[in-house]
Chain A
Amino acid sequence: MQHKEPLFHIVRRPLLPWYRAALIRLLSIVISLIICGLLTTMLTGLDPVKVYKTIIVGAVGTKRKVWTTLQNTAMLLCASLAVTPAFMMKFWNVGAEGQILMGCLATAACMLKLGNLPPTILYPVMAVTSIAAGAVWAAIPAIFKSRWKTNETLSTLMLNYIATQLVAYYVVLWENPKGSGAVGVINADNHEGWFPSLLGQKYLLNILIVIAVCIFLTIYLRTTKHGYELSVVGESERTARYLGIKVPSVIIRTAALSGALCGLAGLLLVAGTNHTITTTLAGGRGFTAVMVSWMSKFNTAAMLLTSFLLVFLERGAGEIATVFELNTSFSDILTGIILFFIIGSEFFISYRIVPRTKHSSKEAK
């Protein structure tokens, strides 16, 4: 008589060596890329090889495209780095979007109102105000959280929209020319407050700054007492209290750091790239950054690769959309699919599926 035994059951794996974990992740990315290609073929009728070719051309086809891709990677990386300390502390900062916008707003305000200051003063002022604006915007939900355990996922989310409306308000105030509904390029004639080009490349300074942030954050998280404290708080608040770590101040301090780096990203966006301000300047990076940071398991090098992969695909998908006169949101769909696969692959790193073994011999070990 046959009895019903489950077809398989799931058990937790012992720790996997890093290369096997990396292999699983790599495999998931490859599969997702194949699916993306098939989907594109279905929608456009283009043959799969051409799909990938178009993506590559779109991302790095010309020198200009290479620089734009690198610049976008730097921006996404900057936002991802920014949210990382907060996540390591298990503080779900999904408010990067708003914190970046506040940085943008502060930068734009400086450029508009203090543009006539000498550059040696103007640039530091821009840096300080934008970083402070981002920090304050992240510190507010952190204070609520440390005081009353207010859910930070939702409070940071709401602060995104409050920031958006604040920017919308100033966009109307600073409208130029009147009636256009937009601020237009700030200081278009004299370039006051614009970041200078380095070696003839206008994005190079941005990229270098983000690399510096990346190095700084790696050192901060791995080798400083602050970094150690925040990971203890993230792992176990009880342990932190057992050690006499002042949990509320660590929460506020770390969230403020997270916001400060978002503010910096805002500075780079306005002074380094766009030279204007709109409500959509952050462009959803704040949300994508959450996923980049989490999928990279807080490893800064992995963040760099993930950011590059996503931006590469976004630019490539954008190219496909342009060529076929499709909507540019196509890239969001592809991004979504890749994210699903990477997120899902984690399961195979932590768990193992054991098939029905009932009548086979006992396990060797």
Chain B
Amino acid sequence: MTTNTPVVKLRGITKSFGGRKANDDIWLDIYRGEILALLGENGSGKTTLMNILTGLYYPDSGTIYLNGEETVIRSPKDALDRGIGMIHQHFKLVDVFSAAENIVLGNEGKLDMEKAKSDIREICKKYGFAVDLDQKVYDMSVSQKQTVEILKVLYRGADILILDEPTAVLTPQETDRLFMILRSMRDAGKAIVIITHKMNEVEELSDRVAILRHGQFVGDMLTKDTNAQEMASLLIGRPVELNIERPDPVDPQPRLEVKDLTVTSEDGVLKLDHVSFTAYSGEILGIAGISNSGQKELLEAIAGLQPVDAGTITYLAPDGTNDELIGKDPFDIAKMGITLSFVPEDRLGMGLVANMDLSDNMMLRSYRKGRTAFLNKKDPRRLAENVVSDLSVDTPGITVPVRTLSGGNIQKVLVGREIAAAPTVLLTAYAVRGLDINSSYTIYDLINRQKRNGVAVIYVGEDLDVLLELSDRILVLCGGKVSGIIEGRNAQKRDVGLMMTKLGGGISDAT
């Protein structure tokens, strides 16, 4: 650890998007030979701030000092020329190019691939990367792509590296390997910033932590001088006590029976492997797993959106009749009289139409009602007004396009519409992702209300603490297989974590 002067000083950085302040007068220092964790909830402005430092966004006001000198960074090129490189959460790679082509992209001078490759191999040796330089990016796993991203920045000679949520898509082993590499780069004197919202990563990896909340800088401190409790309270602004209500299920009946469900993605990857479980009415079944373990495919298969290789999905209606859902599209399922609501992960790309207004979005599920060829516009308008007032959606009116609302309000509109259909099964995917605490609690509340009404809720989440407090039972997915199903009330976070990374997780009492 060094006590030198900061290599980067950000002073009074402010940036707004369409009237909303993503960064508000932020001050931040970055030092050489140090790993800085930039901690904050989704939407707290971490990524925006770093995008400003790397020239992708231009700040509305504020100053950047590099090595003590005032610097204007107008473009990513400016940033790279000054040794600042960023590894984005959504990789910025050209899919049809090879690893080597991606790495040399943006450099100047005559193109000599052979020389470039040997230079890259040199870097690989130094930090311990393993990568096939001729492999096309579209053939790579996410961890391989990340390696290419890091190499790209190193090859350009960056000594300030920014990584945006680098572990979100990695397995634990891959995460360990990444951390090792980051430490060796720090020891080589580079300044490293990692953007994260995971407390354990901050503690494990960083030397210093800076915390943002609602676009404002809350404070920074040496990691060894703080603890998770303190960080969490700074992060959220009040001492956290997740206290989510968990009423006991009343008269649970089997509602949805999934047996040996197997799904292969379009490019031939096995996404779900003989998944079996039963969801009960009046119960919340949580689905845990690291991202991309088959959660999306599972929900979409039930909702009739995902072609299935094998298995059955049976709907057991309250009146005792059974219906097979496989091979039906959402419209077929609705025609069978089953009200199955689905809050998908991709709110604006799937659940809602970004350019339509609130009222027209309310109509998406119900527009087919009625025998005439014409739309009934009155009911959706009333529904929109109800959702806006019941869920206190912050909007200038029901005739504005939904894309103009903030993330939390968009989600309220979506969840409000799905619940208005009075479903018997409710599927939700990452229902609180990117939402502030208040909106999150509104959503938990809505979900619990559905549970009390006897709805079978399937809740896919990423925050284990929430899953453990909200779910009656938790199904853990690991690489497309069911790693185990455990009771939510006496589940231990550590056990679930283990099951996410290893089949069975060493626990034998799966129910």
Binding site for B on A (CB under 8 A): 1, 3-6, 9, 12-15, 223-226, 228-229, 231-232, 235-236, 238-239, 241-246, 357, 362-363
The answer to whether A235 and B355 touch across the interface, beta carbons within 8 angstroms, is yes
Known: A14-B18, A15-B400, A236-B353. 12 other contacts (CB 8 A): A12-B17, A223-B375, A224-B375, A228-B360, A236-B354, A238-B350, A239-B349, A239-B352, A242-B305, A242-B330, A244-B332, A362-B14
Compute the total of residue contacts between A and B using a CB distance below 8 Å: 89
Contact A242:B342 (CB < 8 A) given known A3-B70, A15-B404, A225-B367: yes
Contact A6:B58 (CB < 8 A) given known A15-B401, A241-B305: yes
Measured in the bound complex, the distance between the Cα atoms of B373 and A225 in whole Å is 6
A350 CB to nearest B CB, Å = 11
Residues of B within 8 A of A6 (CB): 58, 74
The answer to whether B353 and A244 touch across the interface, beta carbons within 8 angstroms, is no
Residues of B within 8 A of A3 (CB): 70-72
Question: Taking CB as reference atom, which chain B residue is nearest A6?
Answer: B74
With an 8 A cutoff between CB atoms, is B61 at the interface?
yes
With an 8 A cutoff between CB atoms, is B333 at the interface?
yes
Measured in the bound complex, the distance between the Cα atoms of B61 and A238 in whole Å is 39
With an 8 A cutoff between CB atoms, is B207 at the interface?
no
The answer to whether A243 and B72 touch across the interface, beta carbons within 8 angstroms, is no
The answer to whether B344 and A242 touch across the interface, beta carbons within 8 angstroms, is yes
Ordered by A's residue number, 19 sampled pairs between the chains whose C-beta atoms are within 8 Å are A1-B70, A4-B74, A9-B58, A12-B18, A223-B374, A223-B377, A228-B367, A229-B367, A232-B364, A236-B349, A236-B353, A238-B350, A239-B351, A239-B353, A239-B364, A242-B330, A244-B334, A246-B331, A362-B14
Residues of A within 8 A of B356 (CB): 231, 235
The answer to whether A244 and B333 touch across the interface, beta carbons within 8 angstroms, is yes
Other-chain residue from A236, A239, A243 in contact with B331 (beta carbon distance below 8 A): A243
The answer to whether A238 and B349 touch across the interface, beta carbons within 8 angstroms, is yes
Residues of A within 8 A of B58 (CB): 6, 9
Residues of A within 8 A of B329 (CB): 241, 244, 246
B454 CB to nearest A CB, Å = 25
With an 8 A cutoff between CB atoms, is B452 at the interface?
no
Q: What 7 pairs across the A-B complex have the smallest Cβ distances?
A: A244-B331, A244-B330, A244-B329, A235-B353, A238-B350, A14-B18, A3-B72
Residues of B within 8 A of A225 (CB): 367-368, 373-375
Question: Taking CB as reference atom, which chain B residue is nearest A241?
Answer: B305
Binding site for A on B (CB under 8 A): 14, 17-19, 58, 60-61, 70-72, 74, 303-305, 329-334, 342, 344, 346, 349-356, 360, 363-365, 367-368, 373-375, 377, 400-401, 404
B429 CB to nearest A CB, Å = 12
Question: Taking CB as reference atom, which chain B residue is nearest A244?
Answer: B331
B306 CB to nearest A CB, Å = 10
Residues of B within 8 A of A223 (CB): 374-375, 377
Measured in the bound complex, the distance between the Cα atoms of B344 and A10 in whole Å is 33
Residues of A within 8 A of B332 (CB): 244
Measured in the bound complex, the distance between the Cα atoms of B352 and A235 in whole Å is 10
Measured in the bound complex, the distance between the Cα atoms of B72 and A357 in whole Å is 13
Measured in the bound complex, the distance between the Cα atoms of B362 and A228 in whole Å is 12
Contact A14:B330 (CB < 8 A) given known A225-B368, A232-B364, A362-B61: no
B326 CB to nearest A CB, Å = 15
Question: Taking CB as reference atom, which chain B residue is nearest A245?
Answer: B331
The answer to whether B363 and A228 touch across the interface, beta carbons within 8 angstroms, is yes
Scoring A225, A238, A245, A246 by chain B CB atoms within 10 A of each residue's CB, the highest score goes to: A225
Residues of A within 8 A of B344 (CB): 242
The answer to whether B351 and A242 touch across the interface, beta carbons within 8 angstroms, is yes
The answer to whether B354 and A235 touch across the interface, beta carbons within 8 angstroms, is yes
Measured in the bound complex, the distance between the Cα atoms of B365 and A245 in whole Å is 10
Residues of A within 8 A of B74 (CB): 4-6
Question: Taking CB as reference atom, which chain B residue is nearest A13?
Answer: B18
Question: Taking CB as reference atom, which chain A residue is nearest B360?
Answer: A228
Measured in the bound complex, the distance between the Cα atoms of B342 and A45 in whole Å is 68
Residues of A within 8 A of B368 (CB): 225
B197 CB to nearest A CB, Å = 27
A250 CB to nearest B CB, Å = 12
Residues of A within 8 A of B19 (CB): 14
Measured in the bound complex, the distance between the Cα atoms of B363 and A231 in whole Å is 13
Question: Taking CB as reference atom, which chain B residue is nearest A219?
Answer: B374
The answer to whether A363 and B353 touch across the interface, beta carbons within 8 angstroms, is no
Residues of B within 8 A of A232 (CB): 353, 364
Residues of B within 8 A of A14 (CB): 18-19, 404
Residues of B within 8 A of A241 (CB): 305, 329-330
Measured in the bound complex, the distance between the Cα atoms of B400 and A14 in whole Å is 11
Measured in the bound complex, the distance between the Cα atoms of B406 and A14 in whole Å is 13
Residues of B within 8 A of A224 (CB): 373-375
Residues of B within 8 A of A4 (CB): 72, 74
Residues of B within 8 A of A244 (CB): 304, 329-334
Scoring A223, A242, A246 by chain B CB atoms within 10 A of each residue's CB, the highest score goes to: A242
